[in-house]
């Protein structure tokens, strides 16, 4: 049985003993025992089950799934540590338990707590957490998130996040964390480091880890949430890691620390290949080779072609791509990626663009020409383009803006009336005289539209 006996009189409880007498405590353990104890702490092999001011109980899983019980106690005079293992005293399990109390409240402890069963959490959390996080747990995660969305105080939510994978099942936990990430973005709050612990907890508990990794990657990317050092490679089997890369999870998220990037990677789709290329630092030549092989296998996937050209690929590929299905966006994207003589050939493809695609091209290249396309391009496409570029177009845009304002005012969709005010404001910037004329016309033509008049008065 592991055993520790240390005389430390005059302390108020375990917390004060560990804070003030840690050097004396460490001296009771040999260097190998301390090293193994820290390993047990970091790997979560020892977890607290009940922590009180003078007594703390822990559980450890040893070889062959043997479960050991550890008890620490302080009676005002003596620190005692007892473990049911068969090691010589004092053992690594006791050291790991003491180390947990020393590091209490840190991210490492939070991650260990996530491994506990639900029924073991209630009593423990009340001793481990700051007051605002205790309150958040008592109110429930959903209420805490609502408070953050309304008032903007991230502190309770960031402290609560590591425990969400334990409180909810994997599916609900993932949904809650994604909503939290979105809330952080809307509030302009950087994603907190505690999200890393929450996401690892979700993946660790998931049956299909790869599916959740894809979902997590999409949530982080779409909400521009940056978590440096986020990696799940140690949670996956080799088969899961291969599948994750094939299905589009960036290799950096699933590689094992210190691992060399493999020379050959197989991809299940062009998107998976592109995702790997965009999220892995590679020499230009190597990136070009991988992109070319993927294009040969999956065809001229437009984003992959753009990447290929960006890393120095042959410009002729651009001509092949646009000759299949020319679009304004692709033509504009290629403009800066191919030599000038090649782009002159690309411009000839303008003739095969639809009127609407041509309007999008003109909006980017020479927006002042947009009003000339009236009657040639569908109104629903042309009008937004003209309004978006009105300041650059100048007075030539006014007839189209006026026409749109009158069209909205003549309808009965009250929710669109504020748009009329926005259009009038735009007109006033370009021509105060035309603004006054249009405002007067609207008031004289639609005097019975009370809501419209209220908007115009504002």
CA distances from residue 428 to 19, 149, 401, 431, 454 in whole angstroms, order as listed: 69, 36, 11, 5, 19
pTM score, whole prediction: 0.36
Q: How much is the average pLDDT of 425-436?
A: 88
275 — pLDDT class (breaks 50, 70, 90): confident
Of 101-105, 169-173, 201-205, 441-445, give the lowest mean pLDDT range: 101-105
Token digits of residue 113: 């707590």
The predicted-structure confidence for 125-144, as pLDDT tens digits, reads as follows 444 456 777 677 677 788 88
Report the SS3 class of residue 377: strand
Token digits of residue 251: 């290799």
Of 44-48, 320-324, 402-406, give the lowest mean pLDDT range: 320-324
Per-residue burial over 408-438, b if 16 or more Cβ lie within 10 Å, else e, is: bbeeeeeeebebbbebbebbeebbeebbeeb
Domains of the chain by range and CATH? 2-104 (3.30.310), 107-228 (no CATH), 378-457 (no CATH)
- How far apart CA 211 and CA 244 sit, in angstroms, is 8
Q: How much is the average pLDDT of 226-245?
A: 81
Report the SS3 class of residue 57: strand
Residue 344 has pLDDT above 80, yes or no: no
- How far apart CA 354 and CA 142 sit, in angstroms, is 49
352 — pLDDT class (breaks 50, 70, 90): low
Q: Do the beta carbons of residue 409 and residue 449 sit within 8 Å? A: yes
C-alpha angle 367/371/372, rounded to 5°? Answer: 105
- How far apart CA 404 and CA 398 sit, in angstroms, is 10
The pLDDT of residue 25 is: 92
Instruction: Name the percent of the chain lying above pLDDT 90.
Output: 2
Alpha helices in 235-283 (DSSP H): 238-246, 251-254, 270-278
The predicted-structure confidence for 58-103, as pLDDT tens digits, reads as follows 877 654 345 788 889 888 888 989 888 877 678 888 998 898 888 7
Tell me the angle at which helices 238-246 and 270-278 cross, rounded to the nearest 10 degrees. 100
- List the beta bridge partners of residue 377: 374
10 — pLDDT class (breaks 50, 70, 90): confident
């Amino acid at each position: 049985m592991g055993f520790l006996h240390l005389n430390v009189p005059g302390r108020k409880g375990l917390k004060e003993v560990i804070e003030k007498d840690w050097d004396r405590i460490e001296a009771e353990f040999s260097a190998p025992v301390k090293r193994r104890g820290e390993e047990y702490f970091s790997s979560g092999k020892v977890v607290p089950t009940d922590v009180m001011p003078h007594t703390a109980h822990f559980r450890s899983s040893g070889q062959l799934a043997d479960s050991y019980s550890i008890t620490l106690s302080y009676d005002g005079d003596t620190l005692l540590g007892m473990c049911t293992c068969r090691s010589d005293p004092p053992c690594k399990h006791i050291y790991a338990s003491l180390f947990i109390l020393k590091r209490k409240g840190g991210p490492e402890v939070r991650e260990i707590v996530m491994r506990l069963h639900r029924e073991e959490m209630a009593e423990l959390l009340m001793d481990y957490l700051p007051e605002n996080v205790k309150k958040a747990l008592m109110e429930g995660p959903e209420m805490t998130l609502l408070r953050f969305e309304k008032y903007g105080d991230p502190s309770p939510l960031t402290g609560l996040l590591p425990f969400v994978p334990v409180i909810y099942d994997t599916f609900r936990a993932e949904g809650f964390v994604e909503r939290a990430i979105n809330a952080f973005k809307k509030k302009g709050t950087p994603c907190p480091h505690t999200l890393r612990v929450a996401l690892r907890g979700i993946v660790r508990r998931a049956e299909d880890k790869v599916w959740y990794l894809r979902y997590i990657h999409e949530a982080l990317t779409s909400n521009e949430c940056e978590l440096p050092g986020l990696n799940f490679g140690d949670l996956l089997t080799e088969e899961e890691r291969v599948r994750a890369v094939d299905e589009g999870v960036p290799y950096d998220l699933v590689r094992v620390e210190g691992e060399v990037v493999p020379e050959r990677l197989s991809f299940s789709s062009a998107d998976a290949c592109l995702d790997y290329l965009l999220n892995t630092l590679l020499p230009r030549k190597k990136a070009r080779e991988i992109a070319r092989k993927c294009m040969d296998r999956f065809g001229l996937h437009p984003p992959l072609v753009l990447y290929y050209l960006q890393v120095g690929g042959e410009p002729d590929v651009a001509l092949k791509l646009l000759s299949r299905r020319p679009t304004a966006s692709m033509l504009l994207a290629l403009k800066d990626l191919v030599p000038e003589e090649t782009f002159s050939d690309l411009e000839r493809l303008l003739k095969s663009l639809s009127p609407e695609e041509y309007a999008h091209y003109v909006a980017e290249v020479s927006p002042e020409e947009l009003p000339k396309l009236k009657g040639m391009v569908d109104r629903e496409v042309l009008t937004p383009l003209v309004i978006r570029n009105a300041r650059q177009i100048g007075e030539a845009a006014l007839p189209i803006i006026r026409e749109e304002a009158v069209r909205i005012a003549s309808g009965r969709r009250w929710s669109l009336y504020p748009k009329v005010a926005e259009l009038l404001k735009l007109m006033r910037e370009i021509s105060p005289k035309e603004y006054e004329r249009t405002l007067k016309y609207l008031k004289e033509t639609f005097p019975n539209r009370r809501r419209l008049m209220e908007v115009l008065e504002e």
